[in-house]
Amino acid sequence: MRNDTHRDGTEREWRRTGRRRFLGLLSGLGAAGLALPFPSVARGPRERDLKEADFYRPHDLAG
Amino acid sequence: MREVTCELCPRACVIPEGGAGDCRVRVNLGGKLRATTYGRPSAIHIDPMEKKPLYHFRPGSPVFSIATAGCNLHCLNCQNWQLSQRGGEEMETLYRADPPDLIKAAREEGCRSIAYTYSDPIVFYEYVYDSSELAHREGLANVFITAGYINRKPLRKLCRVLDAANVDLKAFDEDFYRRVSDASLRPVLDALVTLREEGVWLEVTNLLIPTLNDDLAMIRRMVRWLRDELGEGTPLHFSRFQPQYRMRNLPPTPAEALDRARREALDGGLKYVYIGNIPGHEGGSTYCPTDGTRLIGRTGFWITENRLTADGRCPTCNEEIPGVWE
């Protein structure tokens, strides 16, 4: 059970420190989240690349 | 613009970025040509080998048959036009089957051969090659049913993994190829010679269309070429035309026209000449060229009798019949 009659400067300081820590933790989590790759659409079925054909060449002749 | 030139078939399509070749299924994406139907067949069936038609290759055996959309020919009388004259994106059915899936399915269905067929498998060349290579490793045979409109270099490479082919020689006439198929005859003849040189078991089909390619003088020239270039033991199938697609104005081929063509070919020196698409016709069976014994009797695609010896000979006169009889 809390004893409010003994509230003083030390207790206020303790509360500020607690809030700073909590906010620091939140911002740390936020930064870490941003650093992760964007959660992707890649979770569902994904179409493969189309197979490259044999027997062709770039058409680089004039005309 | 990063255009590419496709070197697979004699059309030599110059394809702009984002465009497709004449076959609809080989597409230029970012300067690279992509085979869009690789691993995406639209037809999968189990057929008798006789339906291909191959009469001298594993007779009576079931063959796992696949095709994708697209074709490099545009024949007015195409009988598979719903498949061949469309791109993959237009297909009602598009399966997903990579080469290992195909081989596994063929085995599960009890097939010892895989046929690349229906449309022209030239347009899904890479899929055919990879599947065939794997099929060989697994002890399955590969058969290629084609119009033969392909360049020599890719065909030679493909021959490494093919066991049998049936080439649809549409006519022995450049003008016919131009008007009916939007193609040309010469590359098809070259393909036939290449398949023979490479030791692929080869049979030839000629669909006889009334008034367009049933001229006996032309058939005589064709038979002479087949006999001299491919050999007298090359089976030739004269097949009956049925009006369809963009050629509904002509009647089905009369049986007499097929009989005349068959007689012309036998007289011209070919030993195994067949008539197709007339179930029960005597021309659907295999006879010994020496003594006339009926060796394999057929009704439609079904074998009613097989008197060949285990090593492929006539039981009466011991004549060796060319083919793959295992």
Residue A1: the pLDDT is 45
Chain B partners within 8 Å of A57 (Cβ): 4-5, 7
Taking only the tens place, the pLDDT of each residue in B183-234 is 999 999 999 999 999 999 999 999 999 999 999 999 999 999 999 999 999 9
Q: Cβ contact (<8 Å) for A50 and B36?
A: yes
Chain A residues touching residue B8 (CB < 8 angstroms): 53-56
The average confidence (pLDDT) of chain A is 72
Of B15, B34, B129, the CB nearest to A52: B34
Find the residue in A nearest to B27 (Cα). A53
A33 at B interface, C-beta within 8 A: no
B154 in reach of chain A (CB within 8 A)? yes
Q: A47 falls in which pLDDT band (50, 70, 90)? A: confident
Average of per-residue pLDDT across B163-170 = 98
Judge whether A45 is closer than 8 Å to chain B, CB to CB.
Answer: no
Q: Is the CB of residue B72 less than 8 Å from the CB of residue B11?
A: yes
User: B32: nearest CA in chain A?
Assistant: A52
Q: Does B38 touch chain A (CB under 8 A)?
A: yes
Q: Measured between alpha carbons, how far is B246 from B209 in angstroms, rounded to an integer? A: 13
pLDDT score for B141 = 98
Whether this prediction's pTM lies above 0.95 is answered by no
Which of A49, A52, A59 should be substituted to probe chain B, the one whose Cβ sees the most B Cβ atoms within 10 Å? A59
Considering only CB atoms, which chain B residues are within 8 Å of A50? 27, 29, 34-36, 38
Per-residue pLDDT band for A62 (boundaries 50, 70, 90) equals low
The pLDDT assigned to A23 comes to 79
Does A23 or B77 have the greater pLDDT score? B77
A48 or B313, greater pLDDT: B313
- Chain B residues whose CB is inside 8 A of the A51 CB are 34-35, 38-39, 126-127
Per-residue pLDDT at A61 exceeds 70: no
Q: Which of B1, B2, B4 to mutate to test the interface with A (most CBs of A within 10 A)?
A: B4
What mean pLDDT value characterizes chain B? 97
Q: What is the pLDDT of residue B151?
A: 98
Whether the CB of B25 is below 8 Å from some CB of chain A: the reply is no
- B12 to chain A, any CB pair closer than 8 A? The answer is no
At residue A28, the pLDDT reads: 77
Report pLDDT for B286. 98
Chain B: closest CA distance from residue A60 (Å) = 7
Q: For chain B, what is the HEC assignment?
A: CCCEEECCCCCCCEECCCCECCCCCEEEECCEEEECCCCCCCEEEEEEHHHCCCCCECCCCEEEEEECCCCCCCCCCCCCHHHHCCCHHHCCCCCCCCHHHHHHHHHHCCCCEEEECCCCHHHHHHHHHHHHHHHHHCCCEEEEEECCCCCHHHHHHHHCCCCEEEEECCCCCHHHHHHHHCCCCHHHHHHHHHHHHCCCEEEEEEEECCCCCCCHHHHHHHHHHHHHHHCCCCCEEEEECCCECCECCCCCCCHHHHHHHHHHHHHCCCCCEEEECCCCCHHHCEECCCCCCEEEEEECCEEEEECCCCCCECCCCCCECCCECC
Residue of B nearest to A59 (CA): B4
Q: What is the pLDDT of residues B48-75, one digit of tens each?
A: 999 999 999 999 999 999 999 999 999 9
